[in-house]
Structure 1
Amino acid sequence: METDLKKTTLWAWHKEHDGQMVAFAGWQMPVAYKTGIVEEHLRTRKYGGLFDVSHMGRFLIYGEGATPFLQHVLTNNVLALEHGMAQYTLIPDEWGGAIDDAYLYRLDEGKLMAQSRYLLVVNAANKEKDWDWFMEQKKRFRDLIIEDKSEEMSMIALQGPKTKEVLEKILVEGHTVLPDPWRNRLRVCEIEGEQVTVTISRTGYTGEPICFELFSPSEKIRMIWERILEVGAPNGIVPVGLGARDTLRLEASLPLYAHELGVDKEGKEIPIFAAPAPGLGVSFSPLKGNFIGRDALRRQFEEMKLRLGGDPLPPKEKQVVPKRIFPFAVVGSQGIPRQGYEVWAHGKKSGHVTSGTMVPYWIFSGDGILMEPSDDKAMRSIGLAYIDADLKEGEKIEIRQRGKSFEGMIVERHLSLEAPPYARPILPEEKKRRILPPPKALGESALALVTRVVDNTRWRQRETVNLIPSEHTPSPLVRFLTIADPSGRYAEHRLVKGLGERDVFYYQGTKLIEEVENLLSEELRRFLGCLEVEPRVISGQMANTAVFSGLMDYLNRLDRKSEPRRIRKVVNHHLGRGGHLSAQPLGALRDFVAIDPMTERPAAYPFPVLRENPYQIDLEKTGELIEAQRPELIVLGKSMIIYREPVREIAQMVSEIKPKPIILYDMAHVLGLVGPYFQDPFQEGADLVTGSTHKTFFGPQRGLIASNMEEGTEYEELWEAIVRRVFPGSVSNHHLGTLVGLLLAAYEMNAFKTEYQKAVLSNAKAFAKALRDEGLSVEGDPKLGYTETHQVILRVGYRLGPLMANRLEENNIVLNYQAAPDDEGFTSASCLRMGTQEMTRFGMKEADFAQLAAYMKEIILYDRPMAEEVARFRKRFTEMRYCLSEAEARPLLDRLLDVLS
C-alpha cells in the first residue's frame, strides 16, 4: 500500500481488528472486516452498522457573510435550515453540472442567522478541489470564515434498525436526548460517564430509515467508537467497511460522485437533474439570488417538468437532460452489471451502467405491520444506469459487455424506507392483471355477510373490552333511529337573505329533517355554550376542511378577481407528536396553506413542546413562535391528547396582534368532555370548535362546527363563508338518518353530561394509576394523574406497539398502537393508546379498570392467554348507561322495529 496515504484517527483500530485496508481517495480505509462485505450489508439492514467516514472533508463556515456565500455556491436554500437541521445540497458549476455533492448542517447554536455556524461535509476525493473552489469564490464575500476541520473533528456513521436503542444507552440519561425522530435533525448530546459532547444528526448514506452520523473531537472518537460497539454487539451491531457502504447506497439508489455525478463514460458532464436525489437538493427560491449555475439548472428543471408532465419536449439534440439515471434490476439471468457496461433498449445503444453489482437481502416474514426480516436471505443483481431519458419504469433493457448480454428491467427503486425501523427490499415484478373471482348466488353472499356481521357484533359488543379512544357505541335507540326514514333521503337547503333570512329546501318531504336540524342545533348550542352550530358535516375531518376552506374564502373577500391566496401561516400540532391528520399539510390543510418562501415548505409551524414532557406545549417558546411568524390560524387539539389545551394562554398571547389569528380548537376526541371538569373552549377564548360526534360524544359518526360568530359580530362574514363551504361546498346529501340519531344523542348528553364526564375522567386516572401499579410504563405527568382526558398512553417498548396491540386483541382487549413523540413513525410505534369513554358507558368503574390493568399486565409482560377470562369479565358490562333505561327505551324500540320491518 502507498506510504503517503492519509489515515483516519481510527486507522489503528481498523488494523487491530483485521480491517482489510485499501487505498481510497488518498486514504487508507477498511473495505471490509472479517465478517465480509455481504455479511456487513446484511447486518446493517437487520441490526446496524458502524462506519468510519472521517475521510470525508469537513468545513466549518461562519460569519456575517456565511449565509450569502452558501446561497451562492450551493444549490439548496440555506435559509430553509432552522437551528439543528441539515440538508442535502450540491456544489454546482456554471453549466449545471456537479463539482461535488455535499451535506450542510446548521449547528444548534446562535439565535440569529448571522450568528449561525455551518458544517459542510464533502466527498473525500473532492476535498482539495472543493476547498480551492471555495477559496476562489470567497473573495467576493466579506466577514466570512471557512475552516478545514477535517483533522480535528472526526465523523462516524451508525445506521440500521437497532442503532437508536444503542445510542440511547450511551447518552447521559435525563440530560441529553437524541434529535427529534425526523430526517435531517441534529442535536448536541453527551456520552455517559465521559463528559464528551458529540453532535448527532439523523442523516446517512445507506438508505436506512434509522440513521445517525456523529461528529466529535478526533481525540475522543475511538472511545465513542468502542463504546458503541461494546453496547451494540449484543444487538448485532458490527463495524462496516467501504465495500458494504457502497452496496448499501446502491441498493438505496443514492448517487456516488464519479459514477452518477460528474462526467459520464464519454467525458461529458452529467446534468444535476439527471438523477432524482440531486434534483431534490436544488432550490430556485428568490431568496437565493443568482447563484452559480442557476440559469442552467433552471433549464434542466423546466425540461424535466415537461417530461414528467407528459408535455411536448424540444428535439433530442436540443434537450439539456437527454439522459437520466434510472435504477434497474437484472431479471431472468444471473448476470452482474458493472460500471461502464453498455445498456441497450429498443434495439439501440441507450447509455451505460454507472453502478452495479450483486447485493444480498433479507427475506421478510410475517404479515403487514408485523413483518420482520427472517433468517433467510438471497442475492440479487441491481444497478443504476445513465440512459435515454425517454425510457420509463417497467421497460426492459439489455446490458452488454464483451459479447455477452443479460436482461434488465427499469424499476422505480430497490428499497422501501416507509416503514421504520427496517428498510425493505423491493423486487421487480411483472404487472399482473387482477382477475375477479366468479360471482356467488345472492342468497349465499347474503348469508355469508350476515353471519360474519352477527359474529363480529357479538364479539365486539359482548366479549371484548373496547378501549379505542376514537370510538363509541351509541345507545340502541340512537342506532335504530339512524336507519329510520329519512335515512336515504335528500334535504339540501341554504339560507337565502332575500327571502327573509329563511332556509330554503330544494326537495319536498323534508319537514321532519328541518325540525330535527333546528332541534339539534339548539341542543348542541346548549351543550357547547355557543351561539352558532353547523351540524351538516358528516365527519370531524370534513369539519376542519370546511373551516380551512371558509377561512381562505374569507381572507380573499375583498378581492374576488385575483387568484385566491392561501392561508399564509398556520401553527398546529406536529403529526408525530399526536397532531390530528386533518390539521396537517399532508391532510385536510394541504390545499389551503401557503408555501413559506423562506423554507419552501408548507407554512405550518408545529407547537414547541417541553423537552421533559413532549405531550405538553412549551408556552414560552410558543409565544416566541407566534410573535415571529404571526400566523393567521392556530389549530389546537390532537388525536393523542392527555392534557387540557392552553386555549386561554394562547388567546392572551394573540389578543394584541392585528389582525388577530383565528384560534380553532379541533375537539374531535374530547367533544363529549366540554364543561367544567375538562375545559370550556369558548369561555377560554377559542373562535371556532370542530369535532367528531362519536368519540367521547354519544352520537353516530358525524361532525360539527361551532362558534360565537353570529350576525353583527366581527367575524359574521367568516361564519357565513364556513357555512357556504359546508353546503354547497362539501355536502349534498348530509346523511339524514345519522342526523336524527345525533339529535337523540344530544338529548342524552345534555341529560347525563355531569355524571358521565366525571366518571370518564376519574376512570382514566384510576386506569393509568392501576397500570403503573402493575409495573407498566404509563406516559404523562404523575402529578396530574398521568391524564386530564379520557385517554391513557402506555409505553410497551420500541416498535412493540403493533405486536402488543395484536396480542391484546387476541385476548379480547381492543385498542390501538400509537407512535410516541420519539418514534420515527407508526410502524415503529412504542405505545398503546386507550380511552375509557365506551366502557365507562357500559358501566365500568375505577375498580373494574384496575382489574383490567391486571389482565393487561399478564398479557403484555408474560404473554399469558386471558381471552376467556376477559370475555367473562366483559359480560358484566353489556347494559348501556347514561341514556334511557331499558324499560323506558323498549316501547320506543318496539315502535321503531314495527315500521322498520
Structure 2
Amino acid sequence: MRMTELHRTPFIDFHQEAGGQIVEFGGWEMPIQYPSGIVGEHLITRKGAGLFDVSHMGRFIVSGDDALGFLQHVLTNNVAALDVGESQYTIIPNESGGAIDDAYLYRFEEENYLLVVNASNREKDWDHFQSHLEGFGNVILEDSTMDIVMVSLQGPESKNILTALLDEGELPDPMRNTLSEVILGGVTVRLARTGYTGEPLCFEIFCDVAHADVLWRMLTENGAEPIGLGARDTLRLEAGLPLYGHEMGLDAEGNELPVFACPLAKFAVSLSPLKGNFIGKEALSRQQKAFARIVDRDFSLKADLPRIAKAVAITGKGIARQGNMVFREGTHVGYVSSGTMVPYWVMEGEGIHSRLTGEKGRRAICLAIIDSDLDIGDTLQVDIRGKMSDAVIVPYHMRSEAPPYARPILWHELRPGVEKTPFAEASQKIQALLSKAAENTAWRQRECINLIPSEQSVSPMVKLLSAMDPAGRYAEHKKVAAFNEAEVFYYQGTEFIANVESLLQEEMRTFFGCLQAETRVISGQMANTAVFSAMVDYINRADRKSEQRRMRSVMNHHIIKGGHLSAQPMGALRDFIARNPRTEKPAVVNFPVLVDNPYRIDVDACRVLLEEETPELIIFGKSMILHKEPVKEIRAMVDAMGLDTVLMYDMAHVLGLAGPSFQDPFAEGADLVTGSTHKTFFGPQRGVITSNVDVGDSKYDLWDAITRRTFPGSVSNHHLGTLLGLYAAAIEMNCFKETYQKKVVDNARHFALALSDCGLNVAGDPSLGYTETHQVVIKVGYTKGPEVATRLEENNIVVNYQATPEEEGFTASGALRTGVQEMTRFGMEKEDFSALAELMAAVINDGKNVKEEVITLRSRFTEMCYCFKGEAVAPLMERLHRLI
C-alpha cells in the first residue's frame, strides 16, 4: 500500500465544481478553501453546518478473536471499555512514550473495530501495526480507506439536516462518542457524534464508496456548506485540539514530545490492568505521575514532562505562528506549536439568553509547548518576526458545553475588573428589599399562573409556623443504645420541638404506610446523599479497618432521560460510587427506555442488565416524570435472581401523590423512599427518608446507618422552623390527600389533552392521557425552550424549559416542563386548565400578548384549598402574627 502518487477522494469533482482551491495534503489532493475563504468557512461552521471531506484519513478495520488484545497492545486507551455504539479518542504510542499518531476508534459492530488515523501517517501506522501482529493469533487488519468514505458534518444546524434526511433508525444518543446506523435518503450510513471542530453538535458519517455522490449531494442540498482544510485547522485550534506534527510528534527543536505534553492525554491514555503490558506503558506511567503532580503544583517530576501544550492568547500585536519562540520575563520557555488569527461571532445577552449576532470579531490565539511549571494567568512574550508581543496563558479559547453553539471565550472576559459600587444607606437598602419582596410576592401569588412542577405554595398556616421561635434554635439529638435507644438532645429548651419532630415522623409514617421516617434532612438532595453514604457504611459493616469500598454498581435514570441530578455521578452519587474497572467510568448503568416512549422504562430490557451488572442499589424516580415507575416488576426480577439489591424510589416530584391515585412504593416492593417535601407535597423546602424495615429485618442495619449519616453525617442544625411548618403540612396532606391527589392527576391529564387539542405537541403516551403524574411536557422545537418560556413569563405564565431525551442538554432545550399541582391547590378545575391551554397556545403558536387575560384568570384563584382555615384556626394564627 505504498503511496506513489497523489490520491483523490470520491468527492474531488464536487470540490472543483464548488470552486475549491486544491492543494496537496498528506498524499492527497484536497480543498484548502472555497470562494468564501477560510474566515467565512470558519464562521459558517460555528453558526450553520459545515461539511468536511475527511475521506483522505486512513480507515483500518480490525477484527478477529484477538482483535481486542491487539488493540489494547498498540493503542493507549482502554479498548475493553468500548461497548457497541461507542467510540474513543486514542493515541498510537511508541516504546519511549511518544506518539506515532493519534486516532479515533469506533465500535459499530460486535465483531470488529474501525480505527481512523491521520492521512499523512497512514502508511507509517500500517507498517507499525504489521510489525506488532506477531504474537496475536487471529487478528485481521484491513485497510478500507478506499472502500469507505468519511465526511464530517459539524455545527449547530447539523442535527436538523440529518433529522430531515432520516428514513430509518435513530441519531446517536445526544452524548459525545455515541454511534448509530441509520438510513439517510435511502443510503445506509454509520453516524458518530465525533468531530475535530469543537462543535457540540458534531457528526462524522461513514458509508460505502458507491454511495459517495448521493451522500454529498443530499447533505449540500439540505443546507450543509463545504468547508476546506484551512478552516478545519482554525476551528480545531480555537477548540484547543491537537494536531500531529504540532502538539505531538517532534517539537520545534527536533525532540520527541511526550504524549502527556498534550492535555488530551488524560482522556486518551489508560493504565487499566485490562490493558496488560502495552507499548510505551512504562514511559506513559512516568509521564502520568508527573502530570498528576504538576496539576497539584508539585514539580518534583518535571524532568519526565518538562513542557506541556497550553492555550495562549496574544494580547499584543501580531499573529503567532508555529515555531515562534515564547519567553517569560526574558527567559526562553518554549515554542508556539499552532497559531493564527481566528474569527468569531460576537455574542449578545447573558447566560441562557445569549445569542450569536451578525457581528464578527477576530483574535490572535495559539497553542504553545511551554515549561510545565507555567500556569493560567501567567504573562508571556512571543517573538513574532523579531518583535516581542505580549501574551497570556488562558484555560481555553472556546467552550462547547452549551449546545447548540460553541462559544468563544475572550481572554479579557476571563479576568474582568472589579467595579466599585457606590455606598447606599442601610435603611434605603432595606426599603428597596421590602418593596421588591412585596411586589414579587404579589406577582407570584396574585397575578401569574405558576406551573413549575418542582414548586408548591405552602398554606398561610405553614408559612406562619415556619417563622416561629424554633426557626432560630438548635435541637441536635441521636439515639443512644445505653439508654435503650432513647433520643438524647444536646441542647436545653427542646421539649416542644422534640415532641413536634416525633409527631411529624408519625404523620409521615401514616402518609406512606411505613414503619420508619427520618425528617431531619433539609432537602431531597441531602436525603439522597445520606442514603448513599449509608449504603457505603452498610456495605462495609463487617470490616471497619480496611479502606471503605464504594458501591460497585448502581442502576439509575440518565439525566438526559429525566433522571434526578442528585442520582448522577456528577451529583450526590459522586463520592459513593466506584469506578467500573472495564469502562474506567463511574459504575452506573442506566435504565433502558422504550423506543416509542422514552419517558418510560423498558422493563423487559432491564432483565439482561440486572443479570450482567448485579447493582447494589437501584434508584427510581425522575425530575421529568410522566409515568409510574416499574417498582413491582423490578422487585420481582431482583428477588427471582436472588440479588442483594436495595430498591430506592426518589419521589421528589411525586411525593405528594404517593398512594392509590398514583402508586404505593412500599406495597410494590421499595426498600427506601426519599423525596422533597415542597413539590407535590404541601410542605416547606425540606426532605424526607422513609423505609418499611423493622428491627430484626435483614436491612435494618441500613436504616440504622441512614439515621447516623443524617446526624451527625449530614446535618447539625436541621432548620427547626421549617420542621415545624412541615409537621403542619403533613397534617394537611393526610387530611386532604385523597381528594387532592385525584384532582391533580385528573387536572394534569385534562390539561395535556387540552394543550394537544390547541395544536401543541404534548410528550408522552396518548393512550395514557400523556401523563400519569402532575407533569405535562410540551415540545416547542429544538433549542426553542428558553425563548418560549421567557415569552410565557412575559405573559405571567411561569414554566421551566426542559431538554427532552433526544436533546444534548439544557441549553438545547426544546420543551417546556409544567405541573398542575400548585394551581390545583389554589382551586383550578379542568375547565380552568382548558382556558389556560388556550392562552398558552395563543402565546406559543400565535405570538399573542395575553397578560391581562392571565391576570384575570388568576384573580379567581388566590385563596388556597386543601388546608385548614376559617374560624377554627383564625384566632390562633392572629396570635402567632402578633408574636413575630
Q: TM-score range by the shorter chain?
A: over 0.9
Match of 1:727 in 2: 711
Distance in 1 between residues matched to 2:141 and 2:415, nearest whole Å: 53
**Which residue of 163, 171, 175 maps to 1:178?**
171
2:473 to 485, 489, 493: 489
Residue number in structure 2 paired with 1:274: 261
Residue matched to 1:203: 194
**For residues 191 and 403 of structure 1, what CA distance do their matches in structure 2 show?**
53
| Aligned equivalent of 1:227, options 198, 210, 218 | 218
Letter in 2 for 1:200: L
Which letter does structure 1 place at the counterpart of 2:192? S
Deviation (angstroms), 1:813 = 0.4
| Among 786, 800, 808, the residue aligned to 2:770 | 786
Letter in structure 2 aligned against 1:280? F
Residue type at the aligned position of 2:256: E
Partner of 1:518: 502
Contact 1:9 1:218 in 2 (8 A): yes
Aligned length: 881
Given that 1:61 and 1:145 are in contact with CA atoms closer than 8 Å, whether structure 2 keeps it comes out as yes
CA distance in 2, matches of 1:576, 1:184: 15
Query: 2: distance between equivalents of 1:878 and 1:266?
Result: 76
What is the CA–CA distance in structure 2 between the aligned matches of 1:856 and 1:865, rounded to whole Å?
10
Q: Secondary structure at the match of 2:600?
A: strand
Structure 1 residue 898 displacement after superposition: 2.2
User: Which whole-Å CA distance do the structure 2 matches of 1:6 and 1:899 have between them?
Assistant: 88
Indicate if the aligned counterparts of 1:567 and 1:593 stay in contact, CA closer than 8 A.
yes
Would you say 1:286 and 2:273 are equivalent positions?
yes
Q: Which amino acid aligns with 1:181?
A: P
- Alignment match, 2:629: 645
Distance 2:770 2:723 in 1: 35
Distance 1:312 1:10 in 2: 50
1:41 alignment counterpart? 42
Partner deviation per Cα, 1:575-616 (whole Å, 9 max, x = no partner): 111100110111000010001111111101111111221111
SS in 1 for 2:471: coil
* Contact 1:57 1:124 (8 Å CA) reproduced: yes
Which of 351, 360, 365 lines up with 2:334 in the alignment?
351
Q: Give the CA deviation at 1:839.
A: 0.2
What SS does structure 2 have at the residue aligned with 1:655?
A: helix
Confirm whether residue 72 of structure 1 aligns to residue 69 of structure 2.
no
Contact 1:537 1:702 in 2 (8 A): yes
Q: Which residue among 218, 221, 246 is the counterpart of 2:209?
A: 218
Tell me which amino acid in the other structure corresponds to 2:174: P
Contact 1:539 1:692 in 2 (8 A): yes
Residues 733, 65 of structure 1: alpha-carbon distance in 2 compared, 3 angstrom cutoff: same
Distance 2:497 2:869 in 1: 26
Other-structure match for 1:113: none
**Are residues 1:610 and 2:594 paired?**
yes
Q: 1:424 aligns with which of 407, 421, 430?
A: 407
> What corresponds to 2:244 in structure 1?
257
Cα 1:181–1:711 shift into 2, 3 Å: same
Among candidates 116, 136, 154, match of residue 141 of structure 1: 136
Amino acid at match of 2:478: R
Shift of residue 892 of structure 1?
A: 2.6
What TM-score do the two structures reach when normalised by structure 1?
0.97
Distance 2:736 2:300 in 1: 68
**Aligned position for 2:789:** 805
Mark the CA change 1:25 to 1:605 in structure 2 (over 3 Å): closer, same or farther.
Answer: same
What's the CA shift for 1:849? 0.5
Tell me, which stretches of 5 or more residues in structure 2 are unaligned?
none
Structure 1 segments unaligned to the other structure (5+ residues): 111-115
Does the CA contact (< 8 Å) of 1:272 and 1:279 recur in 2? no
1:659 CA drift (Å): 4.7
- 1:601 and 1:813 map into 2 onto residues whose CA distance is 41
What CA deviation, in whole Å up to 9, does each residue of 1:281-318 have, x standing for no partner?
0000001001000000000111111111122514x6xx
Q: Residues of 2 paired with 1:3 and 1:148: CA distance?
A: 17
1:300 corresponds to = 287
Q: Deviations over 1:463-503 (max 9, x none)?
A: 01000000000110111011112111111111112112211
Distance 1:279 1:512 in 2: 56
Instruction: Give % identity.
Output: 55
Of 564, 571, 578, which aligns to 2:562?
578
The reply on whether 1:8 has 2:9 as its aligned counterpart is: yes
2:19 alignment counterpart: 18
**What is the CA-CA distance between 1:391 and the residue it aligns to?**
1.4
Contact 2:324 2:383 in 1 (8 A): yes
- Any idea what the Cα deviations from partners look like across 1:307-365, whole Å, max 9, x if unmatched? 11122514x6xx021111111111132x0111111112221222211111111110011
1:82 CA displacement: 1.2
- 1:320, 1:492 → 2: CA distance? 52
Report the Cα distance in structure 2 between the residues aligned to 1:751 and 1:409, rounded to whole angstroms.
65
Instruction: Look up the match of 2:354.
Output: 371
Structure 2 distance, partners of 1:898, 1:387, is 69
Is 2:182 the counterpart of 1:189?
Answer: yes
Question: Do the aligned partners of 1:798 and 1:830 also contact (CA within 8 Å) in 2?
Answer: yes
Return the TM-score normalized by structure 2: 0.98
Task: Assess, with a 3 A threshold, how the Cα gap between structure 1 residues 432 and 43 changes in structure 2: closer, same or farther.
Answer: closer
Describe how 1:100-139 pairs up with structure 2 within 5 A.
100-107=101-108, 109-110=109-110, 116-139=111-134
Contact 1:481 1:741 in 2 (8 A): yes
Q: CA deviation at 1:658?
A: 4.3
Q: In structure 2, what residue type is equivalent to 1:290?
A: N
Letter paired with 2:125: D
Task: Give the counterpart letter for 1:207 in structure 2.
Answer: G
> What amino acid maps onto 1:538 in structure 2?
I
Residue 269 of structure 2 aligns with an amino acid whose one-letter code is V
The CA distance in 1 between the partners of 2:59 and 2:415, in whole Å, is 46
**Is 2:551 the partner of 1:567?**
yes
Aligned partner of residue 368 in structure 2, secondary structure: strand
Q: Contact 2:344–2:361 at 8 Å: present in 1 too?
A: yes
Which one of the candidate residues 745, 753, 762 is aligned to 1:761? 745
Q: Secondary structure at 1:507's aligned position in 2?
A: coil
Output one character per residue of 1:814-871: Cα deviation in whole Å (capped at 9) or x when no partner: 0100011011110010110000000000010111001000000111112111111111
Tell me, what secondary structure is at the counterpart of 1:564? coil
SS of equivalent to 1:181: coil
1:143-162: CA deviation from partner (whole Å, max 9, x where unpaired)? 11111110110000000001
For the 8 Å contact 2:580–2:587, the answer to whether it is kept is yes
- Give, as a single letter, the amino acid of the residue that structure 2 aligns with 1:221: A
Which residue number corresponds to residue 550 of structure 1?
A: 534
TM-superposed CA distance for 1:889, in Å, is 3.5
Counterpart amino acid of residue 58 in structure 1: R
| CA distance, structure 1, for counterparts of residue 496 and residue 669 of structure 2 | 35
Q: Secondary structure of the equivalent of 1:257?
A: coil
SS of the residue 1:609 aligns to: coil
- Matched residue SS, 2:873: helix
Q: Secondary structure at the match of 1:383?
A: strand
Deviation at 1:439, TM superposition (A): 3.9
Over residues 727-751 of structure 1, what are the superposed CA-to-partner deviations in whole Å (9 max), with x where a residue is unaligned?
1111111111111111111111111
CA distance in 1, matches of 2:10, 2:719: 69
Letter in 2 for 1:713: D
| 8 Å contact from structure 2 (residues 297, 373) kept in 1 | no
Contact 2:51 2:225 in 1 (8 A): yes
Q: Which residue of 1 aligns with 2:804?
A: 820
| Cross-structure match for 2:322 | 339
Pair 1:390-2:383 in alignment: no
1:30 aligned residue: 31
User: C-alpha separation between the residues in 2 aligned to 1:65 and 1:443?
Assistant: 77
Q: Deviations over 1:178-202 (max 9, x none)?
A: 000000000000013x2x2100000
Which stretch of structure 1 is more off in the superposition, 476-485 or 432-441?
A: 432-441
The 2-side partners of 1:433 and 1:427 are apart by: 14
Aligned-partner residue type, residue 373 of structure 1: L
